[in-house]
A and B are shown apart, each in its own frame.
Chain A
């Protein structure tokens, strides 16, 4: 085990966190990401029974979740280190499947609401040019957010996750906080 101390994408050892009205933003530093690709024409694998969904979708399984990133390509998410290892082994053993560890390639900010879906919907309306259908629970879409290429995952009615390139974590955090904070006066007005 290395004695080097990892640092969050925002430059702090502890996950960044902020609250604005009903919305709470938390940097998810525990998230591990593994991208999976298959040979064209081969069926989608089911590593450890995890369902790899179709275009625009996100699916949750036991200890892991997955979203579609391209034809024959998915990203698998887990925050259980042992599970990540077992998933890697399972992918390696699937015929024609290949994996790339992307855990450090992305920053993930979880946005949760303690007042139901409305604050999340209002936030999404200010963030991405996607219709409510495309950001409904169970959907994941790669899109532009203030000129930043991101992946937007609606984990639940009251829960959104935004993934951006790790190097742009500061910009992502700024724009999410700024946009979330602007919802507060509007909601109280």
Chain B
């Protein structure tokens, strides 16, 4: 098919001096800059572009915009291959590769086309009905088979090589759609000085003005578009965003939009592929235009059958018509005047016209062509493309007309989707036969132009101006009214015709292969709600979301129920308006940068010293430090744990939350936060504290140090640091605003290193500046502010998680790395050893200290054996609730467990049962919280909660893990595997 001649003014829309080569299904073709893939395929006479979803019927291009149900192609190849791309939205670029989808073998000889013969078995709801028996076959046989046969394109399964960005805009006015109404709205607001964002999904702004042949102010409409865009582009308060789809309306006037930054290029180069914009607009104008609907008739899905307005757009904007052979004439089928406009446009471009089939009796030609008034189309012929159309004329006689293209005009549906995103219900206009945006749409969103039924050029221009003035008035701005360009009258009379009744299949939803028969069947099967009909038939689903089928389907359903369209109503529209890639929703952060990572001050030191890291919340913590010759992590961990018990170890514990609490009421405040009493803590002392949830369960534990009068440092667990701080701030601001206390998170400010082991004091003595570390002066649970390494301010806490003599030394974070190096250097002769979180866990399990696994939100202070820490002398968050029935009488207690056979491994998470008891929920007596290999005990050990565990020491119980078939005998022992008297840590 060769190009049509276009008037000079329209030549700008495609650049005939810039030919572009591309391939479709491996065959080379040529198009022009300005073409879409769809228009370029048409220019090359390609009609068959894919196979349908269910029946694998040949399909062609059906529309000229984002509503396209048929022409879904896979664009590009390799990692950039993108399935389900609408050929109508793809801008042609040099070297573009596209391939058709959903066929086995070539698209012309699809082996799966056999499905069409099985159509009687594939009707509405077939998968609910056909594949019920035998049950087991669903997962293994039916579902995989259906998935292979149906579906659209395939993913490449390779990582996306492109980058994506996100951005935020805050205009006064967002104008969605740059057609007649949108341009006029933007112009009105821009001249009034408002900050305006004008977004359009098309690469070229102008909307239907680019597709119509009419004049504005006596000149081609494209001239007016160019003038307005030039003026807008020159204004500093306007941002033009072509290739940008506003896909959703969210709360508080936030609009989601995707800008296709480099989709129109072969590769993005230095640019991002797409940008996700969050546009917070004071007001928005929905000038999203309208989508034409078709009229279902028998075999209306053949390539060559397309929307009449799209046919007109292809002729006027791109200079193409979709015949396979240039000489094949075009036929129009319409129920309204708009079909005749297409006939006029085609005649003006010199296209051979076979006439107009107009369902309205008394319809007349608007030009030099034949009109079959009162006639309807009743069938089509042509294997891979349209060859003949059958019509039934007003007198009831049938005849066949030879043609290569059939344009179908069933009226226009306003694109109301965005106005319905907050569950706004469209309202039926019986006169215009359209749904209009309802009054209950999103606040601040003002529909304009064809999107609210003002579809003629004159009406759209005026309505765009009206909408902008409304928005500006609401924003307390005054706007002068720019003069409207003179436009021609456009006839728009319509008489309802929703489908042509017949025995054969007439497609309503081309993308999902849903026919009028399917809707009837769904009605017969009692799917009376429109929502049920949608699910039963799958109408309106998938990538096009029923843009060309929804209203027609409702009308067919309304006819069946006799309820009328208004009462039948619509299904709910939800974002996104058109498909959005997950990559752009992710905003571009992938891999290591998927989320923020927090590194400890000694991270780089640990990296250089062979550490393996583990994620703890957002933190990366050293898990163990492998030494040369160690081939298994257990070797490293055992060595590190032994070194702490025998000499001295170093562990970065910066990740523990540190909250600076200051003020005269700090003690009172902490008494209410902690279950135990803190206010009695003297300066220079540390106390272990428990926090409860409001419901009385354990929340968090840690130490609280008193640095001076009214000055405390609260330590939290790593994972809860943020939550505890948030909770304390809530209590300070909302529960007890009368208390004079200040909270500051200082977690990041201090590098804190645990120095643990019998030689820890000897090591620290080598770095402190003349500070007396003797047991008398600085005993267990003491703390001090001091200086180290020649004047560096530091904090020292004598606390122990390992059960050995131990300290935690904190210095300003920038010195953490150097301090670690210094301690390693000074402690070399003492056997100093860095240890990671695994050894830390081994040491604390050996000592019976609780951690996250024991404080899992289902445990109480009493279960830990710390019930008396919940002070009865004062109130604290959760204290009263901890005494409630059901919680206070929980008699499970923390115990130690050792396998009877020392070679056996105790699995964490195993449930505990009495020896010989049935292993069921009713006989469950607790569970293992933590387990590890203890190099000290030389066997696996575990901590767990056991029913009346404190009274069952010495008893042998069963540890069962039915998921993996484990059932191990273990002896109940005290939870302290080392130094049960606690003498060591006080040495």
Residues of A within 8 A of B (CB): 1-9, 11, 29, 35, 37, 39-40, 73, 96, 98, 100-106, 125-126, 128-132, 146-148, 165-172, 174-175, 178-179, 182, 184-186, 189
B650-674 vs A, Cβ < 8 Å mask (1 yes, 0 no): 0000100000101100000000000
Question: For window 585-619 of chain B, which residues contact chain A by CB distance below 8 Å?
Answer: 587-589, 593, 595-601, 603-604, 618-619
Q: Are A101 and B749 in contact (CB under 8 A)?
A: yes
The answer to whether A132 touches B742 (Cβ under 8 A) is: no
Known: A2-B790, A37-B662, A105-B748. A185 touches B269 (CB 8 A): yes
Q: Which chain B residues in 801-848 approach chain A with CB under 8 Å?
A: 811-819, 822
Pick the 3 closest A-B CB pairs, nearest first: A105-B749, A167-B598, A4-B818
Q: State which of A3, A7, A100, A182 has its C-beta within 8 Å of the C-beta of B817.
A: A7
Verify B750–A104 contact, CB threshold 8 A.
yes
Tell me how far the C-beta of A179 lies from the nearest C-beta in chain B, rounded to whole angstroms. 8
Closest to A69 in B: B744
Determine the distance from Cα of A100 to Cα of B597 in the docked complex, in whole angstroms. 25
Residue of A whose beta carbon sits closest to that of B814: A6
| B607 to A, closest residue via Cβ | A11
Do A128 and B748 contact each other (CB < 8 Å), given the known contacts A6-B815, A39-B740, A146-B596? no
Q: In whole Å, how far is B821's beta carbon from the nearest beta carbon of chain A?
A: 8
A9 and B792 alpha carbons, distance in the complex (Å): 18
Chain B residue numbers with a CB within 8 Å of A3 are: 789-790
A-B contact pairs, 24 of them (CB 8 A): A1-B790, A1-B791, A29-B814, A37-B662, A100-B662, A102-B744, A103-B812, A104-B748, A104-B751, A105-B748, A126-B166, A126-B167, A146-B587, A166-B748, A167-B600, A167-B747, A167-B748, A170-B597, A171-B593, A171-B598, A182-B271, A184-B270, A186-B271, A189-B271
Quick one: closest A residue to B170, CB to CB?
A131
Cα–Cα, bound, A167→B20 (Å): 51
Beyond A2-B790, A98-B662, 7 additional pairs, beta carbon < 8 A: A98-B663, A102-B749, A103-B749, A126-B168, A129-B278, A165-B747, A171-B598
Q: Does B716 contact A (CB under 8 A)?
A: no
Residue of A nearest to B166 (CB): A126
Q: What does the 1/0 interface line of B725-751 toward A look like (CB < 8 Å)?
A: 000000000000100101011111111
Specify which of B589, B593, B746, B822 is in contact with A105 (CB 8 Å cutoff): B746
Q: Nearest A residue to B600 by beta-carbon distance?
A: A167
* Contacting residues, chain B, for A132 (C-beta < 8 A): 170
Chain A nearest CB, measured from B752 CB (Å): 12
Residues of B close to A7: CB separation below 8 A = 601, 604, 814-818
Is B818 in contact with A39, judged by CB distance below 8 angstroms? no
Whether a CB of chain A sits under 8 angstroms from the CB of B150 is no
CB atoms of B596 and A147 under 8 A apart: yes
Please name all residues of chain A whose beta carbon is closer than 8 Å to the beta carbon of B748 when the two chains form the complex.
104-106, 165-167
Interface residues on B, range: 35 or more
Chain B residues positioned under 8 Å from A104 (CB to CB): 748-751, 812-814
Q: Contact: B813 with A105, CB < 8 Å?
A: yes
Q: Bound state CA distance, A154 and B38, in angstroms?
A: 48
When distances are taken between beta carbons in the complex, the residues of chain B under 8 Å from A29 are 814
Q: Are A131 and B603 in contact (CB under 8 A)?
A: no
Q: Which residues of A contact B745 (CB under 8 A)?
A: 105
Query: A11 to B604, Cβ gap below 8 A?
Result: yes
**Cα distance A172–B790 when bound, in Å?**
33
Provide the residues of chain B in CB contact with A1, threshold 8 Å.
790-791
Q: Which residue of A lies closest to B275 (CB)?
A: A126
| Contact A2–B593 (Cβ < 8 Å) | no
> At the interface, yes or no: B169 with Cβ under 8 Å from chain A?
yes
CA distance A29 to B660 in the complex (A): 23
Instruction: State the CA gap A23–B161 with chains docked (Å).
Output: 26
A186 to B598, CA, bound (A): 31
Which B residue sits closest to A72, measured CB to CB? Answer: B742
Q: Give B721 Cβ to nearest chain A Cβ, in Å.
A: 11
A96 neighbours in B (Cβ, 8 Å): 740
Are A8 and B660 in touch, CB under 8 angstroms? no
CA of A98 to CA of B662, assembled, Å: 7
Most chain A CB within 10 A, of B596, B600, B751, is at B596
Tell yes or no: B272 within 8 A of A by CB. yes
A129 to B168, Cβ gap below 8 A?
yes
Which residues of B264-320 are within 8 A (CB) of A? 269-272, 278, 280
Indicate if B165 sits at the interface (CB-CB under 8 A): yes
Nearest CB in chain B: distance from A125 CB, A:
5
- Per the bound structure, the CA–CA distance linking A98 and B743 in Å amounts to 11
Which residues of the other chain, A, contact B600 by a CB distance below 8 angstroms? 167
Task: Give the distance in Å from the alpha carbon of A98 to the alpha carbon of B813 in the complex.
Answer: 21
On chain A, the residues within 8 Å of B817 by CB distance are 7, 11
Contact of A100 among B596, B746, B811 (CB under 8 A): B746
Tell which of B598, B787, B792 touches A165, judged by Cβ atoms closer than 8 Å: B598
Contact of B270 among A101, A105, A125, A185 (CB under 8 A): A185
What residue of chain A has the Cβ atom nearest to residue B167's Cβ?
A126
Interface set, chain B 148-203, CB cutoff 8 A to A: 163, 165-170
**A37 CA / B664 CA spacing, docked (Å):** 13
Cα-based distance from A130 to B817 in the complex (angstroms): 36
Q: Which residues of A contact B166 (CB under 8 A)?
A: 126
**B789 / chain A contacts, CB cutoff of 8 Å:** 2-4
Residue of A nearest to B589 (CB): A146
Q: A151 to B787: give the CA distance in the assembly, Å.
A: 31
In the complex, the answer to whether B599 meets A170 with C-beta atoms within 8 Å is: yes
In the assembled complex, which residues on chain B have CB atoms less than 8 Å from the CB atom of A174? Answer: 593
Known contacts A1-B791, A104-B814, A126-B167: does B597 contact A168 (CB below 8 Å)? yes
Give Cα A185 to B660, complex, Å: 45
B791 touches A35 (CB 8 A): no
* Distance from B475 Cβ to chain A, minimum over Cβ atoms (Å): 14
Q: Given that A4-B792, A105-B748, A106-B748 are contacting pairs, would A168 and B598 also be in contact in the complex, using a CB cutoff of 8 Å?
A: yes
Q: For A4, give its contact among B271, B278, B280, B822 (CB under 8 Å).
A: B822
Q: Which residue of B lies closest to A172 (CB)?
A: B596
- B618 contacts across to A, CB distance below 8 A: 168
Residues in B whose Cβ lies below 8 Å from that of A171? 593, 596-598
Residues of A within 8 A of B271 (CB): 182, 185-186, 189
Give chain B residues whose Cβ lies under 8 Å from the Cβ of A101.
749
